[in-house]
Amino acid sequence: MTEAHIAHLKVFRGEPGGATRYDEFDVPVEEGMVILDALHWIQGNAAPDLAVRWNCKAAKCGSCSGEVNGKPRLMCKTRISDLDLDEPITVEPMRSFPLVRDLVSDVSWNYEVNKSIQAFTPPAGLPQEEWRWQQQDIERVQEYRKCIECFLCQDVCHVLRNHETEKPFMGPRFLVRTAGLEMHPIDEGDRRGYLKDTGNIGYCNITKCCTEVCPEHIKITDNAIIPLKERVADEFYDPIQWAWRKLRGKPAAGAAGTPLPMLQGGSASDAPAAAKGDKPTSEG
Amino acid sequence: MTGQSAVLRALRKPRGTAPQGFGKTKRRDRWAAYPIVQGVLFTICATYLLVSGVIWEPLFHTGYEADGYLSPLFSPLILFPNMPSWLSPGLLILWIPIGFRATCYYYRKAYYRFYFADPPGCAVGEPTIHRRFALENAFPFILQNLHRYAMYLAFIPLFFLWIDVIRAFGNWDAAGVAHPRIGLGGVLFLVNTTLLTGYSLSCHSLRHVIGGRIDCFSCTRARRIRHTLWERLTDLNRNHMWWAWTSLVTVTLADLYVRLLVTGVLTDPAIRF
């Protein structure tokens, strides 16, 4: 086998609280090989204790997210032949999240954020069999439903990665989910106050890194975040719309305080305005 | 502890392991090239336009109109009696496009990266002083939320630029007699105004105002019409960056062309009828 068919991998190793290091491995390259294949080769031949999270190996489960040569990517979708084999290939876990071990990071915070979003809220008393909408109403939302929750967008978001913000920031993944709910044709929830005061959408400064890394090619910034920012501007920053609401006697969405949901481990008293119909996980 | 603050505290992300500090990254590609090229080009155009539109005329009085071509930076031309000599008519107009571009969702990406390094690149560490920046949650960047008003105003000079295009081809004299021509200046004005129109129509805020704020597109006839318009604007919006750059370059070239005509460096090549 020639040198050209060997990939030199520098793999991040370590545990929380302990020293971290990069172990180097020479992996024989086969046609069509992806980074996850190389990690499996390492597990089978050189380091059986290497921790890596994976599941479908088809870019649909979102489990094998990591950073290859510093870029957040799905490891099952990153072909070794697309990388420069003259240089070592650096493989790391998602660095925006706490480390569990080696290439596995703790993404559980994301699920807590997910619980804080008011779930799908159809008209009260309308039986599910009577829900109706047209294709043109739902096309926009369908793009958001492609999300596989790999959390690469959360990983690359510089607000989550580098800023230690005073307030929480929900991150692009959950702005996408909220967009899907807000723009649903029969949803009656109003999450604009939540977006401004709890999700803190104002932390997003439109640098589009989330869009660049999305393996499902969701136009996160243009089609989800910016439309939500505009909806928040409608409600809280547009003086003409504010005056128009005043004239009509319509209260602002956030006027009575932002409804906050109950988090896991919290109590009802911690969340006095838990949204009706909240569900613990996304709808699929 | 109130329920709200408990929830907010629980929602703060626990610290990860990303390397902190300006430029810290494991990326090996030329991640800095793209923001630097964009930032330098933007700085060159913006500096030229500011000097030409605001500073040049009060200092040198060379004029901004030649051979029936009015520089797009000065259109519509606003002059009033006893106008201070330090005040360029361009300043009375330029604040509108400056406001429109400064709050533009595309340009934000470019200048936050180049001027503020916030972030310098995707998955690239930024200066640690940024850590507690409130970004668009606080002044001054919270004013970005007024982008829609900048967009509304931007259509006013755009209307006059189209009149200038017609004038450039009609070439009316002081007596109101037309001397039709197809000049290089007219073509440049037409291309520039077309691109500025594309830039304005592809605006994210316009897309929202026209139809984006609607949840149920099919519910009424008016909403179905707005949905059709929203789809067309969405098509334009996909290339908002392209419209932004090409129009910035052509407005710079159009002004430069008029300046060269004014100073006699060039004469306008034209087919006259």
Residue A2 has pLDDT above 80, yes or no: no
Asked whether residue A253 is assigned to any structural domain, the reply reads no
Give pLDDT tens digits for B119-167.
999 999 999 888 878 999 999 999 999 999 999 999 999 999 999 999 9
Tell me if B122 and A258 make a contact (CB, 8 A cut-off): no
For residue B43, the distance in angstroms to the closest alpha carbon of chain A comes to: 18
**In one letter, which amino acid is A274?**
A
Residue A262 has pLDDT above 50, yes or no: no
Question: What local confidence, expressed as pLDDT, does residue A164 receive?
Answer: 82
Residue A93: closest C-alpha in chain B: B17
Question: What local confidence, expressed as pLDDT, does residue B205 receive?
Answer: 98
Question: What local confidence, expressed as pLDDT, does residue B3 receive?
Answer: 65
Q: In this structure, are A178 and A236 located in the same domain?
A: yes
CB neighbour burial string for A191-213, b if at least 16 within 10 angstroms, e if fewer: bbbbbbbbbbbbbbbbbbbbbbb
Q: A21 — contact with chain B (CB < 8 Å)?
A: no
pLDDT tier, A268 (very low <50, low <70, confident <90, very high otherwise) = very low
Residue A259 has pLDDT above 50, yes or no: no
Which residues, in sequence order, are CB contacts of A274 under 8 Å at separation 6+?
A: A259, A260, A261, A262, A268
Residue B104: closest C-alpha in chain A: A206
The strand pairing partners of A101, in sequence order, are A104
Residue A256 has pLDDT above 70, yes or no: no
Task: Residue B118: name the closest of B100, B98, B141, B97 by CA.
Answer: B141
Contact B72, B255 (CB under 8 A): yes
pLDDT tier, B2 (very low <50, low <70, confident <90, very high otherwise) = low
Q: In this structure, are A156 and A177 located in the same domain?
A: yes
- When CB atoms are compared, the residue of B10, B126, B205 closest to A162 is B126
Choose from B11, B208, B213, B218 for mutation: most chain A CBs within 10 A: B11
Distance separating alpha carbons of residues A112 and A184, to the nearest angstrom: 23
Query: How crowded is the C-beta side of A211, counted as CA atoms within 13 Å?
Result: 15
Q: In this structure, are A164 and A46 located in the same domain?
A: no
pLDDT tier, A260 (very low <50, low <70, confident <90, very high otherwise) = very low
Q: In this structure, are A148 and A43 located in the same domain?
A: no
Give pLDDT tens digits for A10-59.
999 999 989 999 999 999 999 999 999 999 999 999 999 999 999 999 99
Q: Phi, psi at residue B245, to the nearest 5°?
A: -75, -45
Distance separating alpha carbons of residues A41 and A26, to the nearest angstrom: 10
Asked whether residue A258 is assigned to any structural domain, the reply reads no
Write out the two tokens for B260: 């060269």
Give pLDDT tens digits for B236-269.
999 999 999 999 999 999 999 999 999 999 999 9
Percent of chain A with pLDDT over 90: 82
Q: In this structure, are A89 and A190 located in the same domain?
A: no
Q: A20 — contact with chain B (CB < 8 Å)?
A: yes
Asked whether residue A260 is assigned to any structural domain, the reply reads no
* Lowest pLDDT segment from A59-73, A266-280, B123-137: A266-280
ipTM: 0.94
pLDDT tier, A226 (very low <50, low <70, confident <90, very high otherwise) = very high
Tell me how many domains chain A contains: 2
Query: How crowded is the C-beta side of B163, counted as CA atoms within 13 Å?
Result: 10
What's the mean pLDDT in A234-253? Answer: 88
pLDDT tier, B11 (very low <50, low <70, confident <90, very high otherwise) = confident
Tell me if B122 and A156 make a contact (CB, 8 A cut-off): yes
For residue A80, the distance in angstroms to the closest alpha carbon of chain B comes to: 15
Can you give the residue range of the structural domain that contains A162?
A: 118-248
Question: What local confidence, expressed as pLDDT, does residue B8 receive?
Answer: 73
Between CA B151 and CA B153, with CA B152 as vertex, the angle to 5 degrees is 90
Distance linking the first and last C-alpha atoms of chain B = 81
Q: In this structure, are A101 and A122 located in the same domain?
A: no
Asked whether residue A255 is assigned to any structural domain, the reply reads no
What's the mean pLDDT in A251-278? Answer: 42
Give pLDDT tens digits for B39-66.
999 999 999 999 999 999 999 989 999 9
Three-state secondary structure of chain A:
CCHHHEEEEEEEECCCCCCCEEEEEEEECCCCCEHHHHHHHHHHHCCCCCCCCCCCCCCCCCCCEEEECCEEEEHHHCEHHHCCCCCCEEEECCCCCCEEECCEECCHHHHHHHHCCCCCCCCCCCCHHHCCCCHHHHHHHHHHCCCCCCCHHHHHCHHHHHCCCCCCCCCHHHHHHHHHHHCCCCCCCCCHHHHHHCCCHHHCCCCCHHHHHCCCCCCHHHHHHHHHHHHHHHHHCCHHHHHHHHHHCCCCCCCCCCCCCCCCCCCHHHCCCCCCCCCCCCCC
Question: What local confidence, expressed as pLDDT, does residue A275 receive?
Answer: 37
Task: Residue A231: name the closest of A185, A188, A179, A192 by CA.
Answer: A192
- Please report the DSSP string for B51-81 in residue order: IIIIIHHHHH---SEETTEE-GGG-S----T
For residue B171, the distance in angstroms to the closest alpha carbon of chain A comes to: 41
CATH number for the domain spanning A142: value is 1.10.1060.10
Residue B200 host element (H or E)? helix B184-201
Asked whether residue A59 is assigned to any structural domain, the reply reads yes
**In one letter, which amino acid is A256?**
A
Tell me if B122 and A212 make a contact (CB, 8 A cut-off): yes
Question: What local confidence, expressed as pLDDT, does residue A253 receive?
Answer: 62
pLDDT tier, B271 (very low <50, low <70, confident <90, very high otherwise) = very high
Q: In this structure, are A134 and A242 located in the same domain?
A: yes
Instruction: Name residue, tokens 């008293």.
Output: A269
Question: What local confidence, expressed as pLDDT, does residue B240 receive?
Answer: 98
Q: A229 — contact with chain B (CB < 8 Å)?
A: yes
Q: A269 — contact with chain B (CB < 8 Å)?
A: yes
Which residues numbered 127-156 in A keep a CB inside 8 Å of some CB on B?
A: 133-134, 136-137, 155-156
pLDDT tier, A4 (very low <50, low <70, confident <90, very high otherwise) = low
Tell me if B137 and A234 make a contact (CB, 8 A cut-off): no
Q: Where are the beta strands (DSSP E) in chain B?
A: 65-66, 69-70, 181-183, 270-272
Distance separating alpha carbons of residues B170 and B184, to the nearest angstrom: 13
CATH number for the domain spanning A10: value is 3.10.20.30
Q: In this structure, are A15 and A71 located in the same domain?
A: yes
Distance separating alpha carbons of residues A50 and A180, to the nearest angstrom: 38
Q: In this structure, are A139 and A217 located in the same domain?
A: yes
Asked whether residue A219 is assigned to any structural domain, the reply reads yes
For residue A244, the distance in angstroms to the closest alpha carbon of chain B comes to: 15
Report DSSP state, residue B119: S
Residue A261 has pLDDT above 70, yes or no: no
Q: In this structure, are A195 and A238 located in the same domain?
A: yes
pLDDT tier, A254 (very low <50, low <70, confident <90, very high otherwise) = low
Q: In this structure, are A100 and A166 located in the same domain?
A: no
Q: In this structure, are A244 and A123 located in the same domain?
A: yes
